[in-house]
Amino acid sequence: MQMTGAEIFVRTLADLGVETVFGYPGGAVLHIYDALFQHTKVRHMLCRHEQGAVHMADGYARASGKTGVCLVTSGPGATNTVTGIATAYMDSIPIVVFSGQVPTLLIGNDAFQEADIVGISRPCTKHNYLVKEAKDLPRVIKEAFYIASTGRPGPVLVDMPKDVLVSSARYVLPDKVDVRGYKPNYEGHPKQVESAMRMLLSSERPVVYAGGGVILSNASAELSELTRALSLPITTTLMGMGAFPGSDPLCLGMLGMHGTYQANMAISNADVILAVGARFDDRVTGKIDEFAPHAKIVHIDIDPTSIQKNVRVDVPIVGDLKDVLRKMIKSAKGRKDVAAFREKTSEWREQLADWAKTHPLSYKPAKDKIKPQYVVEQIYRITKGNAIITTEVGQNQMWAAQFYTYDKPRTFLTSGGLGTMGYGLPAAIGAQVAMPGRLVIDIAGDASIQMNIQELATAVQFGVPVKVVILNNRVLGMVRQWQELFFQGKYSETIQPKIPDFVLLAEAYGAKGFRATKTEEVASVLKKGFAAEGPVIIDVEVDPEEMVYPMVPAGAPLTKMLLV
Amino acid sequence: MRHTISILVENEFGVLSRVAGLFSGRGFNIESLCVAETEDPQVSRMTIVTSGNDQIVEQILKQLNKLIPVLKVVDFTGTDTVDRELVLVKVKADNDTKPEVLRLIDIFRAKIVDVAPRAYTIEMTGGEGKVNAFLQMLRPLGIKDIVRTGKVAISRGM
């Protein structure tokens, strides 16, 4: 049967099981929107900015484990997606972005609304395509989903010229995907796994360092099983929050720049580090030459480029974490030295518990000011840890990581790698669309929230009941913190004397707004806000001088922490 | 250290910029790059000469392997290979210099491919060292223009 490229596009999405597309129409994709008009299987959600659309697809993917989908027009529509694509790329999130393109004959002519998005997005996509014929659409789209979601996941962009969408072809969806140059290696080498086990069991001060890869490969259960079987203390990265239950006594919390004292001391004193699905980001390692000076490193990652990139690795294992961890569990079960190992390392765990006791995460309460950490603690208490939390970027993000406990994967969604302000609200909407029954809360700052506040209109239009809690300190908090510590308190352009009335703003968009100005009110206002129907903004006026501690200054070793 | 890297890629548009972009995006320098179709018209081979310490080169090789249209990456450094470069050079050829130019062409087994009243255009192939030596000998005679292809390499044997 002959169909237009636009019809083929929609049909392919439907046949691949895509339920929701976040997007924004325009000239180059008009035919697709026409084909979508009365389509019942694929639901389109109109965003208010293409960046919002990509973050929604990203939040949808992080919360559900499915691939997020986004559709935009050519030129500015496409370029507006770049920040969202780069965000997904840095955090290895599977999304597919479809962009319209000017007709083939006009490409390269500086046509109206033309941008070379394939060229622009090349360094921040896992792969991208320019489709030249309508008949190629089903194959390319199927490949795009396959590439986005397998191996180390990541964003894929498919650029579709208008004439391709208008021209006709027969619809044939290939059964299989075969990309010659793309064969991810899922199976960890058994010999390497054995060396890793030997190295681990010979250690006296082992630490597991778990990153977002654990969540991406759905290997949390395996990680917990191995960690508990060997009584291994474990620290997670920002991206790894929830990969291992934060409330488990073996969990040391987050490591790195704003990590816990015990986690950073554990890494700095460890003799063997088992790195799983983590990539030794500079926010984690601090001064690289002094990172884990006594440790041998076992590194498991599906992406060989992550291994040996920043630190020297003693036992590299390339493979899917689920597979490798299963092999390690199996090996642990067959070994006689496990009990002795647990015995031998008990002193180490006592030492860690001692560090936790002497230097817990804390803050100084104040009578007349609301402490942002207190607000996050209250969110945890009220939701009993059952919410999906998204964050913006900055102090709000760090407090959300530190003072809320994440016991399950896919409950903490944050822009870890790129640090994208404006991520939290659209990501929350995407997560809520994927998980309609859950409570989804964006922990925001007053500056970040203004970067994509327009998506409140999307939430209202589609009745997506996300709750935004603004830790409103009227400053660009994290930048101000650096100015305070490293620029003699010269607050260059970080104080916002004029910020909108967020309660009125919420109402202007048709959402509900609440405000808390005193510590005593916080819990009740949060409860009221969370219970209210539809999208809600809760504006909490917090202490503008509060800082995020502990803090390892940039370029310092992890042991040189500034404490509360 | 210098490395000669041979890459088999899908012969499709944009693949060159993917490979080159990978180098530039990470601040790695490309000293030369050659690319053309292989015996299979769907596959092209690139020969890239780059330099860096072991860690940088390991990263380059891994990153190249990660590109989807890349089928195979081989670092030829330290392996038994044949490599050649082609140079076209235009030299001043007046009555004083002509005999010397002709003598050098003979010694280096080069070839004149174009003659003009006051210049010869010469073609020469060889290893990088030979090309350099030839150019060094011609330089005092008056080189007007040089174009070099950069290195192509293939493994020996089989």
Tell me the per-residue pLDDT of B127-149, one tens digit each, with 9 for 90 and over.
999 999 999 999 999 999 999 99
B40 beta partners: none
A518 catalytic? Reply is no
pLDDT tens-digit map of A344-369: 999 999 999 999 999 999 999 998 99
Q: Which residues of A touch B (CB under 8 A)?
A: 118-119, 122-123, 126-127, 130, 147, 179-182, 303-305, 308-309
Measuring CA to CA, which residue among A169, A141, A150, A136 is closest to residue A13?
A: A141
Pick from B42, B62, B126: nearest CA to B89: B126
CB within 8 Å: B14 and A118: yes
What residues of chain A lie within 8 A of the CB of B9, using their CB?
181
User: Strand, coil or helix: what is A388?
Assistant: strand
Question: Tens digit of pLDDT for each residue in A270-325?
Answer: 999 999 999 999 999 999 999 999 999 999 999 999 998 999 999 999 999 999 99
Is A50 an annotated catalytic residue?
yes
Higher pLDDT, B26 or A437: A437
Q: Cα separation of A193 and A172, whole Å?
A: 43
Q: Name the residue among A473, A510, A515 with its Cα closest to residue A494.
A: A473
Which of residues A394 and B95 earns the better pLDDT score? A394
pLDDT of residue B26: 85
Whether the per-residue pLDDT at B158 is higher than 80: the answer is no
Q: Which one has a higher pLDDT value, B48 or A38?
A: B48
Residue B115, by phi and psi: left (phi above 0), alpha (psi -120 to 50) or beta? beta
Q: What is the pLDDT confidence band of residue A417, given thresholds at 50, 70 and 90?
A: very high
- What is the mean pLDDT of the segment spanning A451-472? 98
Mean pLDDT across chain B: 94
Query: For position A1, what pLDDT does the model report?
Result: 81
Choose the closest CB to B66 out of A122, A305, A309. Answer: A305
The residue-averaged pLDDT of A27-49 equals 95
What was the ipTM of the complex prediction? 0.89
Residue range A84-113: mean pLDDT, rounded: 97
- Reported as a single tens digit per residue, the pLDDT across A322-339 is 999 999 999 999 999 999
User: pTM of the prediction?
Assistant: 0.95
pLDDT per position as a tens digit, A120-158: 999 999 999 999 999 999 999 999 999 999 999 999 999
Q: Is 90 exceeded by the pLDDT of residue A160?
A: yes
Q: In sequence order, what DSSP letters do the residues of A475-523 get, joined into one string?
A: B-HHHHHHHHHHSTT--TT-B-S----HHHHHHHHT-EEEEE-SHHHHH
| pLDDT for the residue A39 | 87
DSSP A103: -
Counting Cβ atoms within 10 Å, is residue A37 exposed (0-12), middle (13-18) or buried (19+)?
Answer: exposed
Q: DSSP assignment, residue B29?
A: P
Q: How confident is the model at residue B152 (pLDDT cuts 50, 70, 90)?
A: very high
Cβ-contact A540, A471 below 8 angstroms: yes
Which position among A2, A112, A204, A364 bears the catalytic label? A112
- Helix (H/G/I), strand (E/B), else coil: B38: coil
> Which pLDDT belongs to residue B27?
85
Note if A113 is an active site residue: yes
Over residues A515-544, the mean pLDDT reads 97
pLDDT value at residue A381: 98
Please check the confidence at residue A92 and state whether its pLDDT lies above 90.
yes
Identify all chain B residues contacting A309, using CB atoms and an 8 Å cutoff. Answer: 59
Q: Do B70 and A122 touch (CB under 8 A)?
A: no
